[in-house]
A and B are shown apart, each in its own frame.
Chain A
Amino acid sequence: MNRTILLIEDKPALTDTLKCLLELHEFNVLTASNGEEGVANARRHHPHLVISDIFMPVINGYELLEIFKTDNELRNIPVLMLTAKTGIEEINLAMKKGAAGYVTKPFLFRNLHATILKLIL
């Protein structure tokens, strides 16, 4: 059975490409362009994994993690952060708030893929 990934990212240029890449690697992909939409989609579809940006409108990545961790339905879905910030502080904060992992932007898809496989296989 193909695994479902919810991709939450506000830059369409990246969303489209990443969706294609994930689909070529046999994942089902749902998308959302901000945190609020992301939470709603997660509640509706229960994906196996969420990949989320940190800096995005409405609900940012940190707030998204807080919502996931306090929601019984969502707390067991691993959330992988994609972040342009490379500072240890930002990454630590995301991990402290319950992120399952992170990949810094720009990334090589094979690194992202390896991280995804670690989390959902």
Chain B
Amino acid sequence: MKPQHYIKVTHLLNGIKDPVLIIEPTEGIVEKANKAAIDKLGLSVTGKTLDVPFREEFMLPTNNGAEETCIDFIPSSISIAQKEYVLAIGKTTASEQHLRMQLRNLEQERALQEMKTSFISMTSHEFRTPLTAIAAAVDLLETRIRMDRMMNPFYKQNIAKISDEIFNLNTMLDEILTLSKIVSNNYEVKKTPVNVSQVVDYLKFQYFSERKDERKLEVKVVGEPRKISVDKDQLSKILTNLISNAFKYSTHENPQLKLHYHARKLVIAVVDHGIGIPEKDIPHLFNSFYRGSNVDGIDGTGLGLAIVKTFTEMNGGEIKVTSEKGKGTKFSLTFRYA
């Protein structure tokens, strides 16, 4: 390299913050190092013959202080005064110590996340003990008042209110627990062949058999039933949510659940004839804590549908909603057979 080139290149290189080397490619000699490279590698780097294959990405150890660090160099060809050189731009890789520290921070963060999830899991479980005792005490009061022939509309209304709120709180606990598990990626999808009709029968019996208003879930099956490959627990959470909503947001007619077994897929539809969802709310419907603008006075956390959508997608399904305000709502889930 001629002196005028040398000076020009030096100026150019010193303007770069990362370490840069100019390597003469035939011998592998470092012709020029910028200030950042000299700071890291020492003055002796200039004129040094590299014993590493410098045509591809290579590493050089630094020699400043006790801390062992390496610099990663990425080479490219450069032509200076019609002569080919290798221009290598470096990036300091973090020291082992530094990496170890980062790893430790990550581990701490994960442990904290796990603690949070298990804390929420534990509290929601613990909260159920007093809730159960309160619910039983309310039942006892009601029974006793009835037996003493002291029941009147005032007692009845307020006792019902306590009881309803206990179960709302319980649902909220379930939803918060589920969501916290989803957020911390603590949900495994354990897919097994599942008979959906059987799950529906179970849910019907478990949650929807003893209603105060005598309404029932109407179940309709079309086509030849086949098993689908999903996580059974998650499917039942999805269905429980949609069915509860169908009851909650309608008053007179029975909600319907249709299982339509097509040639390649199962479509599960949950239909109600309730208040419907205003069009402007539909795009936001599956966001956490979002609730429709027409739910006035109907309890809910806004978490249910966020959970439904997450679980449906985790299990390879699709969810669609069609609704008309004042007419009713239909949620359709599609699962392809495995």
Q: What is A's interface to B at a CB cutoff of 8 Å?
A: 11, 13-14, 17-18, 20-21, 24-25, 84-89, 104-111, 114
Contacts and interface: CB of A to CB of B under 8 A. Distances in A.
A14 B137 CA distance: 8
B139 A14 contact: no
A99 B206 CA distance: 15
18 contacts: A11-B132, A14-B133, A17-B133, A18-B136, A84-B125, A84-B132, A88-B232, A88-B236, A105-B131, A106-B128, A106-B135, A106-B166, A108-B163, A108-B210, A109-B139, A109-B140, A109-B143, A110-B210
A47 B134 CA distance: 27
Nearest to B166: A106
Query: Top 7 A-B pairs ranked by shortest CB distance?
Result: A109-B139, A106-B135, A106-B132, A13-B133, A105-B132, A17-B136, A84-B128
B26 interface: no
Interface string B117-136: 00000000100111111111
B155 interface: no
Interface in B281-318: none
A18 B135 CA distance: 10
Interface residues of B, number: 27
Nearest to B134: A106
A110 B130 CA distance: 19
A103 to B, nearest CB: 9
B174 interface: yes
A52 B138 CA distance: 21
Interface of B: 125, 128-137, 139-140, 143-144, 147, 163, 166-167, 170, 174, 202, 206, 210, 232-233, 236
A106 B140 CA distance: 14
Nearest to B231: A88
Contacts of B131: 105-106
Contacts of A87: 233
A114 B135 contact: no
B143 A89 contact: no
Given A84-B129, A106-B132, A111-B210, 9 more contacts: A11-B133, A13-B130, A24-B144, A84-B128, A106-B170, A107-B132, A108-B135, A108-B210, A110-B139
Nearest to A113: B139
Contacts of A25: 143
Contacts of A17: 133, 136-137, 139-140
B128 A21 contact: no
Contacts of A21: 136, 139-140, 143
Contacts of B147: 24
A89 B236 CA distance: 11
Contacts of A88: 202, 232-233, 236
A107 B210 CA distance: 11
B137 to A, nearest CB: 5
A106 B126 CA distance: 12
B129 A114 contact: no
Contacts of A20: 140
A105 B128 contact: yes
Nearest to A83: B128
A106 B134 CA distance: 9
B143 A86 contact: no
Contacts of B140: 17, 20-21, 24, 109
Contacts of B130: 13
Given A84-B125, A109-B143, A114 B210 contact: yes
Nearest to B139: A109
A89 B167 CA distance: 22
A110 B131 CA distance: 16
A82 to B, nearest CB: 8
